[in-house]
A and B are shown apart, each in its own frame.
Chain A
């Protein structure tokens, strides 16, 4: 068997472990879709209300709903990496994983696969419900939606890998970062409002995050009917750097865990 085929099997193995868990527990599966749906419902009714009050929302009914759904790609994607990694730690399984021939990069690929699964299961049902509840389809964004999705999930992976690395290094006491990290990014990424409303110095900070360019790009389509290639290109370039840095940080913390003997001791 070729080494690539063997690699694919090894990447699939930790993924299969989590799919078995989902198959055996419908509440787990339901929980994936629950929060994105609640978000969508909340912002949907807010949109209905604001549409009658402000010309900004009335001009483009879907701007807040699109933002809510895309924000969940970012949030669920990151949780998909970090929570999947935490589950290996809760179940004290890291030792088994890393005495096997599973390479760290294969572990990263497996985490990304699970993140994609969790995000799609969470966000896609919510996107269809928004059509049923509010007559709004995020798919009306067209082909750029694919670019937005890919950029957001890649950024979430970079962020998730840093958090997973921190938890490998500092233990499960650091898991709160998984929940807090992206909330901290939300205000500067201009998810629900244009970046122009931020103070000038904060706009400069916002510009270094790919998510900012994605949400600006989304608003350009919904509000002005214009696809901004420059914003998409900036997001792609920034993401390349973030993903490389996130992977590097994860691998460095993994190396430190091997020096300190943390892979056998990982628990609360």
Chain B
């Protein structure tokens, strides 16, 4: 289905996604009444949503809105206080290890192994996913995200821009059906950032993968995402395609929508 979405406008993509969501195939992610409390502090508050397979969804919200906590819950790094999580048809509280080989994460909160080269890092992560034919796989990835010239240099010696490509390569090592990207690095220069978006678009077009993106970069969200979940203080306060949200809030771009919501505005107040 993802291939069918390439090159279409936001309205068309939304319509196709809605039809996909109505199809019998289970959603890529289905979360019901998800709640997480840390010693009395509510980090995620009764959140429910379903994401269609092949969709690209942004999790938006100010710092502390619950984006990283939600991603950690989806991966099972964190156990919920309440609620259910199904990923790729698997109950993550009971059968997490059936889904994990089909998912991957890139996050600034976990580091690569800085003393190892990009190649060695990717070999280690390939092993963690039990993959075979590792050298050929790394060669393909290196080409895809343009790692060639620094593949064999220690990660800690790379510039920020070079370094920022490797987490993405790591996240694609197992050809995940579900890719979770937590705040793709802000250290990318505009050229590298644009290339990264291009790699992601190509990946989802080629594989039909589902992508969840927690980001503060609104132009990235407008370019990549079919669907946006707006979080505030751990609560899901709005949802829609970027074009739908722009219309709902009467704004020109997603940055304005974000600021309006972050500062306490509502859709009704925006009309």
Contact = CB atoms under 8 A, between A and B. Distances in A.
Interface stretch (B56-64, B74-82, B205-213, B228-236): B74-82
Contacts of B126: 13
Interface in B97-112: 97, 100-101, 103-105, 107, 109-112
Contact of A100 (B79, B125, B154): B125
Interface residues of chain A: helix, strand, loop or mixed (majority) = helix
Contacts of A102: 128
B115 A24 contact: yes
Interface residues of B, number: 37
Given A16-B123, A20-B124, A92-B110, A263 B132 contact: no
Nearest to B167: A96
Contact of B109 (A17, A21, A258, A264): A264
Given A10-B130, A101-B97, A264-B68, A95 B125 contact: no
A95 B105 contact: yes
B114 interface: yes
Nearest to B126: A13
Contacts, number: 104
Nearest to B114: A91
Contacts of B127: 9-10, 12-13, 16
Contacts of A94: 110
Nearest to B103: A99
Interface residues of A, number: 36
A101 B78 contact: no
B28 to A, nearest CB: 16
A20 to B, nearest CB: 5
Nearest to B180: A99
Nearest to A25: B115
B103 to A, nearest CB: 7
Nearest to B109: A264
Contacts of B175: none
A252 interface: no
A17 B128 CA distance: 11
Contact of A17 (B38, B111, B116): B116
Which residue among B76, B77, B123, B130 has the maximum number of chain A CB atoms within 10 Å of its CB?
B130
B76 A258 contact: yes
B69 interface: yes
A59 interface: no
Nearest to B101: A101
7 interchain residue pairs of minimum CB distance: A13-B127, A95-B110, A6-B130, A100-B128, A92-B111, A101-B100, A13-B128
7 contacts: A10-B129, A16-B123, A16-B127, A21-B115, A91-B113, A101-B130, A261-B77
Interface of B: 38, 68-69, 72, 75-79, 97, 100-101, 103-105, 107, 109-116, 120, 123-132, 154, 170
Given A10-B130, A91-B111, A258-B78, 19 more contacts: A1-B130, A5-B130, A16-B124, A16-B127, A17-B113, A20-B120, A92-B110, A95-B77, A95-B109, A96-B112, A96-B125, A99-B75, A99-B104, A99-B110, A100-B100, A103-B97, A259-B78, A264-B78, A265-B109
